[in-house]
Structure 1
Amino acid sequence: MTPRSGVCAWPTEVDTHIDSDLPPEGYRLEITPAGITLTAADQAGRTHAQQTLRQLAGPDAFRAAAIGTRELTIPCGVIEDHPRFRWRGCLLDVARNFRTKAEVLRFIDLLSAHKLNVLHLHLTDDQGWRIEVPAFPKLTEISSWRTGSMVGRHDGPERDGRPHGGFYTTDDLREIVAYAAERSITVVPEIDVPGHARAAIAAYPELGPEPESPWEVWTSWGVSTSLLKPTPDTLDFLRQVFDHVLTIFPSPVIGVGGDEVPGATPAHGRLVADLATYLATQGRRAFGWDEVLDTDALPPMVIGAWRDQAAATRAATAGHDVVLCPEDHFYLDHRQSDHPDEPIPVGYLRTLEDVYRYQPTLDDPHVIGIQAQLWSEHFDSVRRVDYAAFPRLCAVAELAWSPPTHDYTEFLPRLRDHHLPRLDALGVEYRPLDGPHPWQTRPDVPATAHRPNQLPVG
């Protein structure tokens, strides 16, 4: 920011212009005591500029309504800004633990406040199917709920005995997509195949291996060995499901999963490749996790590189676009300290500082962005989502937007003095920097002994 003397009252009339010569999603703000001029590259640039004005006005600008009589002002100056990456994402897993439509809309607002522009919505898994598909009503009658949930880690026997479920109607999802679009956020849906599919198999057992007696939506965490059968009938089922998905989501990228497929055969890989090719014929690109790289004849895809840097390099070399989603840095379900009060300590230990100090080492034009993951096995409420996501998602957002050079010692006081008060105003129950509040602990859930590099549940 180039400062100038004086302040401008806010909110105020903003004179807005479009200048396509600016970088995509970029903007320029000229703030004087007489008013504000906003020049944006596109609608997204305008959205981001509005968020910058809220930041400059202070935490009260993030409240749902004005409080008191205190006037909000913003300092005068000129700001020119644009993002480093064009994909700045966060995955929200609504399959393991369902989040209501209202909670998803709230999460979209939080992404927008951080200038993140992709909501990757993980809609299906072994533990639940969350999207209505009119051609297959059993997906919501049977697959959308389970009889209970495992308590604690995936290697424990205890179940809570509490039915859990929920799904989004077609209109619900169209509303979510439209709400996100108004905030310059793309919703990327994921229907995970051929693994992570036990909920679908519970409704339509003919899609799976030799049936259990009977099939049920899984109440465990971890990775199920129940896979979709790689047959023409299964591919026809998936095409019909994705045909419906395409009527809801205008995203140019559609998630097909392809991860964690124990006992996979070449035919399972071809099922994913055939589905990705089908999406290409419909003018879309498939998003797959990096395991799909073991499959031949893939069309150009977007690869979520989550296992290691080698997977990202392999994907880029093969000509796929790459989103960096490293498990060892950006899986925000992982524990934030080794203190015994840390709720349900799973996965890698990754502090706020660990997340902020991540630096992508692959310098390749195919790397289009970064993405954090909120796998929800242990997020049984929106309060738990808040705790896991923030403030680490603030660090991810800054990495995705800002130039490569970062200084944690400069970031931390900005976070403490400015950003955490914004989260307070937004009603976000984030993890305090010095550890959880007493009500954020989970003494009712036994913690499993863990190793420094223990693999996650997701």
Structure 2
Amino acid sequence: MDLIPAPLSLARPAGTFPLTATTALDGGPGAESVAAWLRAELGAAAGLPLPPGSGGIRLDLDGSLAAEGYRLVVDAGGVRLSGGSAAGLFWGAQTLRQLLGPDAYRRGAVRTDGWALPHVTVEDAPRFGWRGMLLDVARHFLPKADVLRYVDLIAAHKLNVLHLHLTDDQGWRVEIRRYPRLTETGSWRERSMVGFRDGGRRDDRPHGGYYTQDDLREIVAYAAARHITVVPEIDIPGHSQAAIAAYPELGNHDVVDTAALATFTDWGVNPNVLNVEDGTLRFYEHVLEEVLELFPSAFVHLGGDECPKDQWRASASAQARIKELGLADEDGLQSWFIRHFDRWLAARGRRLIGWDEILEGGLAPGAAVSSWRGYEGGIAAARAGHDVVMCPEQHVYLDHRESALAEEPIPVGYVRTLEDVYRYEPLPPELRQDEAAARHVIGTQANVWTEFMDDVRSVDYHAFPRLAAFAEVAWSDLPQDPEARDYAGFAERMTAHYARLDAMGVEYRHPDGPRPWQRRPGVLGRPVDGRP
């Protein structure tokens, strides 16, 4: 049936159910919002009114199904879609739309007749509860309209978490009303590195942008209507030069002239990190107070990665803090910093999640881990009873190059083909025999870092079609042995899925390689030879 992600079970008897100008669409108690969404989407694409009523498409909740599970039955009597919750109904509605063909993804009708659903029975539920995509809007800003578009794209693939990387050395993208200079100064940089630093290229063009608080409320509400949780990331204590440029007192001012710092114009790990003074703790508490008002997500991501300790080693203030707290070293100081905000968030009913470096020096008791440096951090965290989102860079960093072709634009990292992503397994062998630890792997995530993607067309190229393969890994009940997976069957289903992506206007990487306008000749990347 060319469905992506593949459902748990599907039966296809003969026959079709036509959709016409008289076909009704209705939802029972708790199903009204999904019915309204489906009416709007199919009404625009098919040019059909789909009025409320009986005898057509019916949506209902069914408590016997898993929360995100659904059952879709199409026969001569009509269409019956049941979900364990409104989210389950919504994912079932996405399957229904796939069954109508690629034209069902258009925003205006290219035809108004010939619409029909095949007779089918689909039973389905996801493997993981956290099925995420990270979108890095800090390195290269994406306007609000592009973020909303990506909400729709990940919803179409049954992903349910949008991790927004909102702050970094190169830009601060969230309006904080108490500290206006974060966006006045930190939301733009005077130029950008083009490609990897060894190429020595700069574009000498100011780059910037940020989301107002109402922009973010809109994004969160738009995502929630599509059963997607937006998880904000505010990076601390490293990756913070944009904040320090705006408020120099946040940096290690007894070591460097923080007043001379500007928003960072290069990529890579930055030595300028936050100081550990009480004023800095209060500053970020105030920032997070506003962040929590904007984002109702249970989890708040506080980064914690790639924090060089050189300035802390040289800082009398930081060394005094280490002595005051009785810590062993600077790793312990970072752990203390993260633990402070773990307690602060927990007191407000939220949970901290951070990159696996937060394991260094001791993990905050309630924290969860995004395991990016391979599986090892996630394995250690899960065995210690901490929840884990698996996102190892060797497998699901979608900024990594998609082939070894010389024409790949700004080739970065490992070669990660569509097949490589399809054969990624979130649950490593070390945890498969440990049921208690395995339960702490709450999901998986693909990360789109944008140092080398300066517009949404570049994001499309790197994200797709690999995000479709990742979505199947996150949702479907695939064999845990990657070599046992039917990649040939998936590739065959992708033939139909490319047409859906075309209808949605996604400028994906073509299976034959990049189109001429997708290449970046002469711009140096940073490939890694071999495979991990």
1:415 to 470, 481, 494: 494
Equivalent position SS for 2:409: coil
**Structure 1 residues 175-190: aligned runs within 5 Å:** 175-190=218-233
Using the TM superposition, give the Cα deviation of residue 8 of structure 1 relative to its aligned residue in structure 2, in angstroms: 1.4
Residues 229 and 268, structure 1, Cα contact 8 Å, conserved in 2? no
1:73 to 92, 99, 116: 116
Using the TM superposition, give the Cα deviation of residue 87 of structure 1 relative to its aligned residue in structure 2, in angstroms: 0.3
Match of 1:433 in 2: 511
Equivalent position SS for 2:119: strand
Match of 1:400 in 2: 474
**What amino acid maps onto 1:181 in structure 2?**
A
Match of 2:348 in 1: 282
2:275 to 229, 232, 235: 229
Render the CA deviation track for 1:326-367: whole Å, top value 9, x for unaligned.
100000000111111100001111111111111232330000
User: Bigger CA drift: 378-387 or 444-453?
Assistant: 444-453
**Structure 1 residues 102-181: aligned runs within 5 Å:** 102-181=145-224
Match of 2:455 in 1: 381
Render the CA deviation track for 1:382-418: whole Å, top value 9, x for unaligned.
00000000000000000000003231011101102x1
**What amino acid maps onto 1:77 in structure 2?**
V
Alpha-carbon separation, structure 2, partners of 1:180 and 1:448: 34
TM-score, normalised with respect to structure 1: 0.96
1:328 to 383, 394, 402: 394
Residues 58 and 72, structure 1, Cα contact 8 Å, conserved in 2? no
Alpha-carbon separation, structure 1, partners of 2:148 and 2:72: 28
Match of 1:355 in 2: 421
| Bigger Rg, which one | 2
Equivalent position SS for 2:388: strand
Residues 195 and 258, structure 1, Cα contact 8 Å, conserved in 2? yes
Asked if residue 443 in structure 1 is aligned to residue 517 in structure 2, the reply is no
Residues 61 and 72, structure 1, Cα contact 8 Å, conserved in 2? no
Residues 180 and 186, structure 1, Cα contact 8 Å, conserved in 2? yes
User: Bigger CA drift: 165-174 or 306-315?
Assistant: 306-315
Identity of matched residues, %: 53
User: Bigger CA drift: 296-305 or 107-116?
Assistant: 296-305
Match of 2:247 in 1: 204
Aligned residue-pair number: 453
Match of 2:17 in 1: 8
1:39 to 82, 98, 119: 82
Alpha-carbon separation, structure 2, partners of 1:246 and 1:140: 18
**What amino acid maps onto 1:433 in structure 2?**
P
Using the TM superposition, give the Cα deviation of residue 212 of structure 1 relative to its aligned residue in structure 2, in angstroms: 4.2
Residues 413 and 527, structure 2, Cα contact 8 Å, conserved in 1? no
User: Bigger CA drift: 23-32 or 66-75?
Assistant: 66-75
**What amino acid maps onto 1:430 in structure 2?**
Y
Alpha-carbon separation, structure 2, partners of 1:438 and 1:23: 46
TM-score, normalised with respect to structure 2: 0.83
Residues 300 and 319, structure 1, Cα contact 8 Å, conserved in 2? no
Using the TM superposition, give the Cα deviation of residue 276 of structure 1 relative to its aligned residue in structure 2, in angstroms: 1.4
**Structure 1 residues 181-330: aligned runs within 5 Å:** 181-210=224-253, 211-212=257-258, 214-263=260-309, 265=330, 266-296=332-362, 298-330=364-396
Pair 1:297–1:55, CA change in 2 (3 A): closer
Using the TM superposition, give the Cα deviation of residue 182 of structure 1 relative to its aligned residue in structure 2, in angstroms: 0.4
Equivalent position SS for 1:174: helix
Alpha-carbon separation, structure 1, partners of 2:107 and 2:409: 30
Unaligned runs of 5+ in 2: 1-9, 26-56, 313-329, 433-437, 480-484
Alpha-carbon separation, structure 1, partners of 2:363 and 2:415: 37
Pair 1:453–1:150, CA change in 2 (3 A): farther
Q: Stretches of 4+ moved more than 6 A in 1?
A: none
Alpha-carbon separation, structure 1, partners of 2:527 and 2:182: 37
Using the TM superposition, give the Cα deviation of residue 444 of structure 1 relative to its aligned residue in structure 2, in angstroms: 4.4
Alpha-carbon separation, structure 2, partners of 1:448 and 1:236: 39
Equivalent position SS for 1:336: coil
**What amino acid maps onto 2:488 in structure 1?**
T
